Chains A and B, each alone.
Chain A
Amino acid sequence: MKETCEVELISVTKKYGKTVAADAVSLRIHGGEFLTLLGPSGCGKTTLLRMIAGFETPDEGKVILGGEDVTLIPPYRRDVTTVFQHYALFPHLNVFANVAFGLERKGAPAQEISKRVADALDLVRLSEMEDRRSSELSGGQQQRVALARALVLEPKVLLLDEPLAALDLKLRKQMQVELKSLQRRLGISFVFVTHDQEEALTMSDRIAVLNAGVIEQLGTAEDIYERPQTEFVARFIGDSNIIEGTVERIEGGMTVVATGQDRFIVYGSDAKPGQQARVMVRPEKITLSDTDGIINGRIESAVYQGESTLWKVTTESGQGLIALEQNRESIASIESRVGQRVSISWPAESAVILKG
């Protein structure tokens, strides 16, 4: 499959007073890709989306859509559509007129409009709702109308601004699956903005993690979770342990890190000997045993969580770690293990040296 590039941001910068919402961000979004812009509120993810839609003009840099520079082109002449956070359905129009809005502006003939509106409503499983007002619809139905209204124009790229944030948990999970399958079926690019890491991990082909107007890391869900490059990414997505140490030596692609009296190896890193190193290990990768671990420590406390147990451990060098263990075997007494000495280990390939 040939990789096409639908959207390209070239070093875009946008400032609001002293706040930098986008700091020389470059990003390429491929055709048919589900790309998520993930980050905490105020990280600039919505600003990036709004620059693609045309609601914001970057202070510097370029926005390219389908090979054409659209930096200064207004939103109504861009071949992208948006599903807004609170749907922004027109309250004075019924479902049909909401969905037909864009087609009418394009001057499509009436027959074509009613056919395409019907198809679009069919796509989001909302047929026979054409005459309803948006105020008569549930949140989930409004969401679908917003989706139909944006998709009916057959955009090359669909922008979604936290579209699921207002839905309850069950509906949100259902819509996640639906959105993803819709995107696969239509084969168009989705650019999805969210602050919900789980949503991002479930739906995306690629995730761009944003912080303070900068892309911290861009990669697949697996990349982002298993191999976070920065502490921000490690902490923002999932839980993480960060072990402070020093790079002792590098041997054939393996980095030996020293923490206190203990030594352990990390694969593939560009760290230099003598350098301070912050090593990230996910809690569920850690196993606690009686002997033969990588470093030794003591169990401080335990939280029984049903299918798993969360252990808080302190290493001999005084660092606090958390370990998440599946309760595969029935456990006699969690409490009795608290205070005991344990040996802490993890697979070498699940440890990552963070940048910076």
Chain B
Amino acid sequence: MADYSRHSKSRTARLLLAPGVIWLAVFFIAPMVIVIVVSLAVRGPYGAIIYEFSIGNFLRAFDGLYLPAYWRTVWIATATTLLCALVSYPVAYFIALKAPARWRRPLLVLTVIPFWTSFLIRTYAWILLLRSEGVINSALMNAGLINEPMKLLYNDFAVLVGQVYGELPFMILPIYVALEKLDKRLLEAAMDLGANRFWTFMKVTLPLSKPGLLAGIVLVFIPSLGAFVTPDLLGGAKSIMIGNLIQNQFTQLNQPFGSALSLILAATVLLLLTVAMRAGLKSSDLA
């Protein structure tokens, strides 16, 4: 009887897991294997892939030529993450702890409303705002604050603005969740023990919302490392990031080098995730 039920349980488990396992095998593991294989191949004339083993693509990735793109990727991703954290924390704090309870849900919905429109369209909207004859420049000139349009578009500044804008919800939501879960009585306990508002925040609120902050950092920093739409549309010819570099290899028919770059990026992300986990991030915080 017991054997029968155990047997049937394991069969049920296999059936339940099957769709997920098949999905991952076909759409995740298989492409990964293909990318690894291609990265070790060589580019032939007219973009053909010649399957002869070579690590040349990986060595080429460390060519000084690409260093500026890597550097820009790192600093824009870092700056995006920092700015997102600085902007998001007060917003999440307000929604979770200060806003009246009945406003919490509408305010949260407002933060995700941008997702209802395509990211591409929203990025184009930034062009309308930032270009020389755009909304911001015309407004400032009409107000007499500036005499000639500022250069707001097609530079690193524009990329940063677009990135921060796009990633903001991914920072606000996990911080909100962490703050919302926070036991408000702990704040009273801290004040009862002589901590004023500042110390209550530093010693109780901030440490207890750290998992949310860490999750937000991961959710913003990692996609920012691979960003290519924003730098493509808002950045200038010089504002190239690693995402654009990879994209270019595939459009310019150098799939082996593109694959190698992708793998290096993926490895970097994995390394960073490990570091974040060590710092106390739990996988459940990312959900």
Which positions in A face B, CB cutoff 8 Å?
Answer: 53-55, 74-77, 81-82, 84, 86, 88-92, 101-102, 105-106, 149-150, 153
Cα of A84 to Cα of B196 in the assembled complex, Å: 18
Most A CB within 10 A of own CB, among B193, B199, B203, B207: B193
Residues of the A chain whose Cβ atoms lie less than 8 Å from the Cβ of B183: 88, 91
B interface residue count range (under 10 / 10 to 19 / 20 to 34 / 35 or more): 10 to 19
Q: Is B189 an interface residue (CB 8 A)?
A: yes
Residues of the B chain whose Cβ atoms lie less than 8 Å from the Cβ of A106: 194
- Can you add 15 more A-B contacts, CB < 8 Å, to A101-B195, A105-B193, A105-B195? A53-B192, A76-B191, A76-B195, A81-B193, A84-B185, A84-B189, A88-B186, A88-B188, A88-B189, A90-B186, A91-B208, A102-B193, A102-B194, A106-B194, A150-B193
A82 in contact with B189 (CB, 8 Å): yes
Q: Is B129 an interface residue (CB 8 A)?
A: no
Q: Is B204 an interface residue (CB 8 A)?
A: yes
From A82, A86, A89, contact of B192 by CB (8 A): A82
B185 in contact with A153 (CB, 8 Å): no
Residues of the B chain whose Cβ atoms lie less than 8 Å from the Cβ of A105: 193-195, 199
Cβ proximity bits B180-213 to A, threshold 8 Å, 1 near / 0 not: 0001011011111111100100011001100000
From A81, A86, A88, A101, contact of B203 by CB (8 A): A101
B208 in contact with A76 (CB, 8 Å): no
A-B contact pairs, 6 of them (CB 8 A): A76-B193, A84-B188, A91-B186, A101-B195, A102-B193, A106-B194
Cα of A150 to Cα of B207 in the assembled complex, Å: 21
Q: With A90-B204, A91-B208, A92-B207 in contact, is A101–B193 under 8 Å at CB?
A: yes
Cα of A74 to Cα of B188 in the assembled complex, Å: 11
Residues of the A chain whose Cβ atoms lie less than 8 Å from the Cβ of B203: 101
From B188, B199, B208, contact of A75 by CB (8 A): B188
Cα of A76 to Cα of B195 in the assembled complex, Å: 6
Q: Which residue of B lies closest to A100 (CB)?
A: B193
Binding site secondary structure of chain B: helix
From B190, B193, B196, B199, contact of A153 by CB (8 A): B193
Q: With A90-B204, A92-B207 in contact, is A75–B185 under 8 Å at CB?
A: no
Residues of the A chain whose Cβ atoms lie less than 8 Å from the Cβ of B196: 74, 76
Most B CB within 10 A of own CB, among A74, A91, A105: A105
Q: Least Cβ distance of A50 to chain B in Å?
A: 9
Q: Which residue of A lies closest to B187 (CB)?
A: A88
Q: Least Cβ distance of B160 to chain A in Å?
A: 33
Q: Which residue of A lies closest to B188 (CB)?
A: A55
Q: Least Cβ distance of A149 to chain B in Å?
A: 7
Most B CB within 10 A of own CB, among A77, A88, A153: A88
Most B CB within 10 A of own CB, among A74, A89, A90, A91: A90
Please give me the 3 A-B residue pairs with the lowest Cβ-Cβ distance, nearest first.
A102-B193, A88-B189, A105-B194
Q: Least Cβ distance of B281 to chain A in Å?
A: 15
Q: Least Cβ distance of A46 to chain B in Å?
A: 12
Q: With A55-B188, A84-B185, A88-B189 in contact, is A76–B194 under 8 Å at CB?
A: yes
Q: Which residue of A lies closest to B207 (CB)?
A: A92
Cα of A231 to Cα of B154 in the assembled complex, Å: 81
Q: With A92-B207, A92-B208, A105-B199 in contact, is A86–B194 under 8 Å at CB?
A: no
Most A CB within 10 A of own CB, among B185, B189, B190, B203: B189
Q: Least Cβ distance of A197 to chain B in Å?
A: 26
Residues of the B chain whose Cβ atoms lie less than 8 Å from the Cβ of A76: 191-196
Q: Least Cβ distance of B156 to chain A in Å?
A: 38
Interface set, chain B 108-140, CB cutoff 8 A to A: none
Residues of the A chain whose Cβ atoms lie less than 8 Å from the Cβ of B186: 88, 90-91
Residues of the B chain whose Cβ atoms lie less than 8 Å from the Cβ of A55: 188, 191-192
Cα of A53 to Cα of B188 in the assembled complex, Å: 10
Cβ proximity bits B238-261 to A, threshold 8 Å, 1 near / 0 not: 000000000000000000000000
Cα of A74 to Cα of B183 in the assembled complex, Å: 20
Q: With A90-B186, A91-B208, A101-B203 in contact, is A149–B193 under 8 Å at CB?
A: yes
Q: Least Cβ distance of A86 to chain B in Å?
A: 7
Q: Least Cβ distance of A183 to chain B in Å?
A: 19
A101 in contact with B188 (CB, 8 Å): no
Residues of the B chain whose Cβ atoms lie less than 8 Å from the Cβ of A90: 186, 189-190, 204
Residues of the B chain whose Cβ atoms lie less than 8 Å from the Cβ of A150: 192-193
Q: Which residue of B lies closest to A159 (CB)?
A: B192
Cα of A88 to Cα of B196 in the assembled complex, Å: 17
Cα of A53 to Cα of B194 in the assembled complex, Å: 11
Residues of the B chain whose Cβ atoms lie less than 8 Å from the Cβ of A101: 190, 193, 195, 203
Q: Least Cβ distance of B77 to chain A in Å?
A: 29
